[in-house]
Amino acid sequence: MNEENAQQSDAPVETEVKEAPQPTLADVAKKYNVEEEVKNFQPQVQPQVQQPPQYAQPSAVPDPVSDLEGWNKYQAYQNTVIGGTLRELANSVTEIRKNAELEKLNTEVNKAVAKVTDKLKIDSIYAEILLEKKYRDDRIFKRIWDNRNVNPNALNEALDVIASEAGKVFQVRSDPQLMENQRAAKASQKAMSTTQQKSGSSEPLNMSDTEFDRWWATNRR
């Protein structure tokens, strides 16, 4: 009796190992307080530029003493020219800034796509489509992406979550029945090729799959 108790006590006790739950985008947003940062974000409002009145170019520079009115019009015209030049310069700077922001955005998108592509082992075009749809449909990921400059770590973790969730979709599972059908078809090809040999040789049956594929491609009609 004591021996049975000793054997039972020596038996290993099986413990159930529970996998840690996968984080969600909501968990990432909560961890990095993305919601609060979005609420406190104040967008920059571009002031409306009022167009100054247009003045005609005078034929000659008027005398400020004898023609005060003409001189004032001349000064107004000069101010108009200078103002127009400054506006053109401001528009050029704005265009340069937009191009720089677009280039930066493309770089950030390519970086995010590369991260998801590397994790899922898929073509980058599919990763880009996945992220674009996620940004359009998932408001949490949209907030995280729009807030990426303030909190880049939140974006990195969000991309990991998206890749983990999408892995179930892109994962390739082997069908046992399909593999069996392929094996049976290969065996049938080998048997048929042996029958067609004039000498009745069973050499194809002894070939490996790679050797038989090469032999079949050479000898089939």
Q: Rounded mean pLDDT of 82-88?
A: 86
Beta-carbon count within 10 A of 207 CB: 15
pLDDT in tens, 194-212: 555 544 455 666 676 667 7
Average pLDDT over the chain, rounded to an integer:
76
Question: Which of 42-56, 148-162, 166-180 has the lowest average pLDDT?
Answer: 42-56
Q: Where are the domains of the chain?
A: 55-170, 176-219
pLDDT of 199 reads 47
DSSP letters of the chain?
A: -HHHHHHHHHSPPP-PPPPPPPP-HHHHHHHTTHHHHHHH--PPPPPPPPPPPP-PPPSSPPPTTT-HHHHHHHHHHHHHHHHHHHHHHHHHHHHHHHHHHHHHHHHHHHHHHHHHHHHHT--HHHHHHHHHHHHHH-HHHHHHHHTTTT-HHHHHHHHHHHHHHHHHHH-----HHHHHHHHHHHHHHHHHHHHH-TT---GGGGS-HHHHHHHHHHH--
pLDDT at 47 > cutoff 50: yes
Max distance between CA atoms of the chain, in angstroms, equals 132
Contacts with 159 (C-beta within 8 Å, 6 or more apart), sequence order = 112, 115, 116
pLDDT in tens, 115-169: 999 998 888 999 999 999 999 999 999 999 999 999 999 999 999 999 999 887 7
* pLDDT confidence tier of residue 79, bands split at 50, 70 and 90: confident
